[in-house]
């Protein structure tokens, strides 16, 4: 006959089994924090705010964007990884937080696979190969020819050592077999300013520089995706332009801390998919020139694995390492 102690243990075990489903059914019953590991105004921040608006409508609960920037996105990402796995702290991850950083930081304070539960790929867009208006190259083939004629004298800008456009720039240089000089900046604004002024010759940048492209302040030589981009359908890809195999995009993904209950992840995936299909989200993504994502958590998980593999290989071959 079971003892009182045994019955008590069974009761506790039963209560533990039913607690998680009940909690998931009640979720969310308080505001949700959506961490962006970069400053306000950038692509990740804008995409997060579009998503937050849609998620708020779908969940019937406020979703608040919190910018925790610094150290290449590692600070905010680590904070999200350490949060309670209850669905009330989420992260918008990027190729930097879940691809470049694991490749270049020797002492990264989080693991992009082990510490996160992928929820949904929010959206993606190509990078653009942009040249200074005074640089003689009019296309990628001419850029490569100039770089080969003047080894080490052609400069390209990035947002900083280990940033996604640094690694993309090194991948481009490697596949094109050119010797160019990397000039790191502290963010996109000063890099773009020096590009327009002719102090650097080219960069690989995302949709944040669309205004300068459309205003004719920089030259658009190519896009970095596998296929041509609907925003500039007449502009060739880098692969089309004599660098076969080159492919580098920017993307945004919705993540929760690892161990977040499966029921909550599934609910967030369903609501996030509905959110990005809303009219307001489509308008917001169109203004950002971001192609909406969607799909299950497996789509985002696969994107992360591919991103890590690509940039780990690039960082190793180009000897890029940050030890701070």
Span 249-274, average pLDDT: 97
pLDDT digits (tens, 9 = 90+) for 43-73: 899 999 999 999 999 999 999 999 999 888 9
| Mean pLDDT score, 216-234 | 97
Residue 9 has pLDDT above 60, yes or no: no
Predicted local confidence at residue 323, as pLDDT? 86
pLDDT score of 18: 43
138 has a pLDDT exceeding 90: yes
Q: Tell me the mean pLDDT in the region 100-126.
A: 96
pLDDT at 219 over 90: yes
Q: Which CATH architecture group holds 128-223?
A: 3-Layer(aba) Sandwich (3.40)
pLDDT at residue 8 tops 70: no
Lowest mean pLDDT among 10-19, 61-70, 239-248: 10-19
Domains 29-125+250-318 and 128-223 share a fold: yes
Answer yes or no: is pLDDT of 155 > 90: yes
The percent of residues above 70 in pLDDT, for the chain, comes to: 92
- Residue 25: what pLDDT? 66
Question: By the 8 A CB rule, do 63 and 56 touch?
Answer: yes
The CA-based angle 129-225-201, given to 5 degrees, is: 10
CA-based end-to-end distance of the chain = 62
Is 190 strand, coil or helix?
helix
Domain boundaries, the chain: 29-125+250-318, 128-223
Mean pLDDT (whole number) for 132-151: 98
Bigger pLDDT: 268 vs 9: 268
- Residue 35's closest CA among 111, 95, 97? 97
Cα separation, 57 vs 95, whole angstroms = 27
- Looking at domain 29-125+250-318, its CATH superfamily turns out to be Bordetella uptake gene, domain 1 (3.40.190.150)
Pairing assessment for the beta strands 116-126 and 291-294 based on DSSP bridges: antiparallel
Residue 294 has pLDDT above 90, yes or no: yes
Position with higher pLDDT, 73 vs 11: 73
Which of left, alpha, beta for 19 (phi over 0: left; psi -120 to 50: alpha)? alpha
Place of tokens 């961490």: 35
Residue 24: band (very low, low, confident or very high) from pLDDT cuts 50, 70, 90: low
Tell me how far apart the alpha carbons of residues 167 and 267 are, in angstroms, rounded to a whole number. Answer: 35
- Predicted structure pTM score: 0.89
User: Average of pLDDT values for 107-132?
Assistant: 97
- pLDDT bracket for residue 22 (50, 70, 90): very low
The mean pLDDT value of the chain amounts to: 92
* pLDDT of residue 14 exceeding 60: no
């Amino acid at each position: 006959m079971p003892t009182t102690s045994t019955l008590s243990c069974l009761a506790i075990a039963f209560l533990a089994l039913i607690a998680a489903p009940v909690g998931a059914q009640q979720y969310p019953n308080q505001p949700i924090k959506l961490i962006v590991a970069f400053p306000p105004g950038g692509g990740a921040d804008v995409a997060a705010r579009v998503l937050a608006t849609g998620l708020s409508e779908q969940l019937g609960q406020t979703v608040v964007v919190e910018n925790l920037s610094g150290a290449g996105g590692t600070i905010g990402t680590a904070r999200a990884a350490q949060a309670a796995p209850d669905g009330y702290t989420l992260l918008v991850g990027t190729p930097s937080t879940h691809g470049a950083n694991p490749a270049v930081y020797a002492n990264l304070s989080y693991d992009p696979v082990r510490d996160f539960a992928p929820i949904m790929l929010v959206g993606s867009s190509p990078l653009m190969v942009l040249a200074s208006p005074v640089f003689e190259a009019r296309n990628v083939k001419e850029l490569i020819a100039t770089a080969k004629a003047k080894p080490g004298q052609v400069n390209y800008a990035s947002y900083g050592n280990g940033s996604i456009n640094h690694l993309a720039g090194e991948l481009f240089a490697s596949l094109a077999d050119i010797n160019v000089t990397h000039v790191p900046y502290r963010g996109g604004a000063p890099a773009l300013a020096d590009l327009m002024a002719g102090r650097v010759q080219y960069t690989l940048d995302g949709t944040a520089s669309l205004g300068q492209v459309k205003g004719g302040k920089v030259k658009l030589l190519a896009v970095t995706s596998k296929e041509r981009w609907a925003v500039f359908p007449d502009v060739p890809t880098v692969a089309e332009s004599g660098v076969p195999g080159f492919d580098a995009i920017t993307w945004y993904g919705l993540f929760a801390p690892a161990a977040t209950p499966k029921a909550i992840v599934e609910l967030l995936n369903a609501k996030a998919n509905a959110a990005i299909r809303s009219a307001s989200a489509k308008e917001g993504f169109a203004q950002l020139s971001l192609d909406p994502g969607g799909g299950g958590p497996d789509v985002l998980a696969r994107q992360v694995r591919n991103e890590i593999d690509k940039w780990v290989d690039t960082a190793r071959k180009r000897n890029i390492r940050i030890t701070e």
